[in-house]
């Protein structure tokens, strides 16, 4: 089969399209014939091995442990391993292959608990855009953020992959949403339901008078003091390790997260960090929101498999908005 393979950490130039052996599903796994996959900031971090602490955590200093990139996937079940129930060959599914990656390929093996039936109203391309970004937004707002109807939430990085889902999910949960983005994305986040939009090229939300019960920071481009300044006295600040940077960092977004963990011990404000990883329960919740018309994935651009390096390079420039999708 054709797959995007990487042998060492580095730029998108380290990615190459190669012929590799087709995987076979182990017990509890499903072999999916990939129809579409999506690019995430996670893929960039693994590709670059950035921040460097990730290399230590993975116990792999020269290159990624798993050579085929990609997590988000939508496709058709080709075969199932022992012990898998509820899924059969021919079923249309979507999900997240997890830290073993492998989705930028014609076939990928995915743990069954990380897959769910594809929402009927979505194309494969749209479905592939949902799992990791949608799950991250849902976990952040519903679980880590404990967002309640009537609360005011600020989403910093509202036009990104996670941000576009966060705006919609926050509205579905009954919140009043303020979205922070650049000028060119104001119309987009407004169309997603944001009640207020702050164009950061013209206005600094940290210097405003508004206060929020929940601040969801998805880009890590502001100081901890700035983010806390716009919280209510007992509000919640959520820090995510997402986003891409110029690279070459030791801790990357983890630096802000570490400072947040330390500061949380000395304030009434709640400071927490979170990360997303899809599972069937989260995907089922997202499907319900999608089928109800409350959430719709937004795709910036799609690329064929052979241009995956170009797709990640596009994401790396930080000009991408919403989701970038790989089609097969």
Q: Are residues 92 and 206 in the same domain?
A: no
Same domain, 138 and 176: yes
Please check whether residues 244 and 317 belong to one and the same domain. no
- Give a yes or no: residue 291 inside a domain: no
Identify the CATH number of the domain in which residue 150 sits.
3.40.50.720
* Pick from 170, 210, 176, 179: nearest CA to 197: 179
pLDDT computed for residue 270 by the predictor? 84
Q: Which pLDDT score, from 0 to 100, does residue 248 have?
A: 47
Q: Does residue 143 contact residue 52 with C-beta atoms inside 8 Å?
A: no
Total count of domains within the chain: 2
Q: Please list, in sequence order, all residues whose beta carbon lies within 8 angstroms of the beta carbon of residue 327, skipping any fewer than 6 positions away.
A: 35, 36, 125, 302, 303, 304, 305
Read off the tokens for 96.
């997240």
Same domain, 93 and 199: no
Residue of 236, 39, 41 lying closest to 142 (CA atoms) = 236
Can you give the residue range of the structural domain that contains 261? 133-274
Question: Mean pLDDT in runs of 10 for the chain (328 residues)?
Answer: 94 95 96 97 83 59 84 98 96 94 97 97 98 96 95 96 97 98 96 97 93 93 89 92 54 58 71 83 98 97 97 84 95
The first and second tokens of residue 55, run together, are: 């290399």
- Residues 150, 242: one domain? yes
Please give the angle made by the CA atoms of 300, 35 and 127, to the nearest 5 degrees: 50
- Residue 284 domain flag: no
Residue 287: inside a domain: no
Q: Tell me: do 260 and 323 sit in the same domain.
A: no
Residue 307 in domain: yes
| Residue 24 placed within a domain | yes
Q: Is residue 77 part of a domain?
A: yes
Has residue 318 been placed in a domain?
Answer: yes
Are 105 and 159 in a shared domain?
A: no
Question: Which pLDDT belongs to residue 245?
Answer: 54
Whether residues 167 and 269 share a domain: the answer is yes
Looking at the fold, whether 214 and 262 belong to one and the same domain comes out as: yes
> Is 31:107 a contact under the CB 8 Å cutoff?
yes
Q: Based on the number of CB atoms within 10 Å of its own CB, is 263 exposed (0-12), middle (13-18) or buried (19 or more)? A: middle
Residue 27's alpha-carbon distances to 105, 113, 150, in angstroms, are 21, 12, 45
Residue 289 lies in a domain: no
Question: Is there a single domain that holds both residue 87 and residue 146?
Answer: no
In angstroms, the first-to-last Cα distance of the chain is 12
Whether 110 and 148 map to the same domain: the answer is no
Q: What is the pLDDT of residue 2?
A: 98
∠ CA 305-139-206, rounded to 5°: 95
> Is 107 in contact with 23 (CB distance < 8 Å)?
yes
pLDDT at 269 (0 to 100): 84
Per-residue pLDDT, 255 = 59
142 with 267, same domain: the answer is: yes
Residue labelled with tokens 């090229």? 201
- Is the sign of the CA dihedral 307, 92, 288, 272 positive or negative? negative
58, burial (CB in 10 Å: exposed 0-12, middle 13-18, buried 19+): middle
Yes or no: say if 98 and 114 are a contact pair by the CB < 8 Å rule.
Answer: yes
Residue 126 sits in a domain of what CATH number? 3.90.180.10
């Amino acid at each position: 089969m054709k797959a995007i393979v990487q042998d060492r950490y580095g730029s998108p130039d380290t990615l190459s399209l190669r012929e590799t052996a087709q995987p076979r599903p182990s017990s509890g796994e499903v072999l999916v014939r990939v129809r579409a996959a999506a690019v995430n900031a996670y893929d960039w971090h693994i590709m670059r091995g950035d921040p460097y602490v990730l290399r230590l955590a993975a116990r792999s200093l020269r290159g990624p442990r798993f050579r085929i990139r990609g997590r988000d996937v939508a496709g058709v079940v080709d075969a199932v391993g022992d012990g898998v129930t509820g899924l059969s060959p021919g079923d249309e599914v979507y999900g997240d292959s997890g830290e073993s990656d492998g989705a930028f390929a014609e076939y990928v093996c995915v743990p069954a608990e990380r897959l769910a039936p594809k929402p009927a109203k979505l194309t494969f391309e749209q479905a592939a855009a949902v799992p990791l970004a949608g799950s991250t937004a849902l976990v952040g707002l519903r679980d880590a953020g404990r967002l309640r109807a009537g609360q005011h939430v600020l989403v910093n990085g509202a036009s990104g992959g996670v941000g576009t889902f966060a705006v919609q999910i926050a509205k579905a949960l009954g919140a009043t949403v303020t979205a922070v983005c650049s000028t060119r994305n104001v119309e987009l986040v407004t169309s997603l339901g944001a009640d207020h939009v702050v164009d950061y090229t013209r206005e600094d939300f940290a210097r405003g008078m508004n206060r929020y019960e929940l601040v969801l920071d998805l880009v890590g481009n502001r100081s901890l003091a700035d983010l806390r300044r716009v919280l209510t006295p007992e509000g919640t600040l959520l820090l995510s390790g997402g986003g891409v940077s110029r690279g070459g960092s030791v801790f990357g977004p983890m630096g802000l997260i570490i400072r947040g963990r330390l500061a949380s011990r000395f304030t009434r404000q709640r400071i927490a960090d979170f990360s997303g990883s899809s599972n069937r329960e989260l995907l089922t919740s997202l499907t319900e929101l999608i089928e109800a018309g409350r959430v719709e994935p937004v795709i910036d651009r799609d690329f064929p498999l052979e241009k995956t390096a170009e797709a990640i390079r596009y994401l790396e420039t930080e000009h991408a908005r919403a989701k970038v999708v790989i089609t097969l």
